[in-house]
């Protein structure tokens, strides 16, 4: 199985210069190739691109050799991919979108796809033609053969995404419980049927407020000025920070459920339907539910969990988790669920418990059962 781990790098100023040079060489080579093969007389093919690269580009731009030759060489593969997608879309009669030139400071990156060209040992990363080793913020999460590395720059920081071929993934062995229901909410991010609550993130809210302020700041500065550039970088950094804050909570939650339970029952979030309710829609996109579900499914596969998606018409909130009767007039503002059977329970916890039992015969809300117990 191939797994990727993205790690922040801690380059020294000299190493950062190398990384910038590599990003620049790759971008330059990519753009040169694209310019050459954009004209009608030069039809794109990988072999003619390689000829052009060897006979024209490399001799003409001697400074390509200051970084690993693979940095520029791999730009051919990248552009080949871009062209493949372009031709596929043309064939499918979709909006085609010809490959575009890469711009400086926009998704800067370069890749080394040959295992001899880089090496990871502990928290140190070796890259071809860089004499010193770059420190990484953490060690690789997976053991196995490293296959390729993509180094990217975002908001002034450097990241390495390392692809590892690994035989098996052994999470820490914990005595896992059989099932859990997860209710995603507005007030809290998620409530679990065992009572654990993952709160909505206050720090994130604070950051979002701050973002509004500094975005205004940018528009006040003169276009093209240094001050505007600095203000823009500030905004980019905060955006990045916010997306990290979001991801951190989602990772915590998805880690927790996939480590502790064999079967995880979640709701089928019909986000489109929820857009009708504006406030709800906003908090849902803030919480990143789409990405949360992806993470739970992905980690669930690694840890051998069964992920059950409850039918979206399953009345998880309206059903009493004790007797199974359904309350028709439950509104969003009712935070506590009261049932005639005597149950008084937090609304989200009630929903989570119902999800936990989703699919079990005992919670089929049939007329008969409801009558018997209530
Ligand atoms: Zn009841």
Average pLDDT value over all residues in the chain = 84
The rounded Å distance from CA 314 to ligand 1 centre is: 17
Among all chains, which residue has been given the structure tokens 């905060």? 238
Does 211 have pLDDT greater than 60? yes
Within 8 A by CB and 6+ apart from 34, the residues are 79, 99, 100, 101
The rounded Å distance from CA 337 to ligand 1 centre is: 9
The rounded Å distance from CA 338 to ligand 1 centre is: 8
What is the spatial distance between Cα 24 and Cα 77, in angstroms, rounded to a whole number?
Answer: 17
| The total number of residues written for the chain in this structure | 374
What is the spatial distance between Cα 180 and Cα 194, in angstroms, rounded to a whole number?
Answer: 7
Instruction: Quickly state the pLDDT bin for 83 (edges 50, 70, 90).
Output: very high
The rounded Å distance from CA 374 to ligand 1 centre is: 7
- Type and span of the H or E element at 91: helix 69-91
Does 365 have pLDDT greater than 60? no
The rounded Å distance from CA 103 to ligand 1 centre is: 61
Domain positions in the chain are 2-165, 177-310
The rounded Å distance from CA 277 to ligand 1 centre is: 28
CA 67 to chain CA centroid, Å, is 30
Does 272 have pLDDT greater than 80? no
Contact 186, 21 (CB under 8 A): no
The rounded Å distance from CA 176 to ligand 1 centre is: 29
The rounded Å distance from CA 361 to ligand 1 centre is: 17
- Type and span of the H or E element at 282: helix 278-287
The rounded Å distance from CA 188 to ligand 1 centre is: 24
Percent pLDDT > 90 in the chain is 39
What is the spatial distance between Cα 242 and Cα 211, in angstroms, rounded to a whole number?
Answer: 9
Section 308-317 average pLDDT: 84
């Amino acid at each position: 199985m191939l797994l990727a781990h993205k790690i922040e790098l801690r380059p020294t100023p000299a190493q950062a210069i190398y990384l910038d040079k590599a990003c620049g060489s790759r971008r330059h080579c990519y753009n040169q190739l694209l310019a050459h093969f954009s004209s009608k007389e030069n039809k794109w093919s990988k072999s003619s691109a390689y000829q052009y690269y060897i006979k024209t580009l490399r001799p003409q731009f001697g400074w390509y050799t200051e970084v690993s030759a693979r940095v520029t060489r791999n730009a051919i593969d990248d552009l080949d991919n871009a062209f493949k997608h372009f031709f596929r879309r043309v064939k499918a009669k979709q909006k085609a979108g010809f490959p575009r030139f890469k711009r400086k400071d926009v998704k800067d990156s370069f890749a080394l796809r040959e295992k001899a060209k880089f090496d990871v040992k502990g928290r140190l990363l070796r890259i071809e033609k860089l004499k010193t080793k770059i420190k990484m913020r953490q060690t690789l999460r997976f053991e196995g053969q490293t296959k390729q590395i993509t180094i990217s720059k975002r908001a002034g920081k450097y990241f390495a995404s390392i692809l590892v071929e690994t035989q098996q993934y052994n999470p820490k062995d914990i005595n896992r419980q059989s099932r859990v229901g997860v209710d995603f909410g507005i007030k809290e991010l998620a409530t679990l049927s065992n009572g654990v609550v993952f709160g909505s993130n206050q720090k994130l809210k604070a950051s979002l407020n701050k973002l509004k302020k500094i975005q205004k700041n940018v528009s006040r500065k003169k276009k093209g000025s240094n001050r505007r550039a600095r203000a823009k970088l500030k905004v980019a950094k905060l955006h990045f920070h916010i997306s990290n804050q979001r991801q951190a909570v989602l990772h915590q939650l998805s880690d927790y459920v996939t480590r502790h339970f064999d079967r995880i029952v979640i709701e089928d979030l019909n986000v489109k339907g929820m857009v009708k309710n504006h406030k709800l829609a906003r908090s849902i996109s803030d919480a990143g539910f789409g990405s949360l579900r992806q993470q739970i499914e992905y980690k669930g596969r690694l840890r051998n969990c069964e992920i059950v998606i409850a039918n979206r018409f399953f009345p998880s909130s309206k059903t009493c988790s004790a007797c199974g009767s359904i309350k028709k007039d439950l509104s969003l503002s009712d935070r506590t669920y009261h049932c005639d059977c005597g149950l008084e329970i937090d609304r989200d916890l009630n929903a989570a418990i119902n999800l936990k039992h989703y699919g079990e015969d005992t919670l089929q809300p049939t007329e008969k059962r409801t009558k018997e117990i209530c």
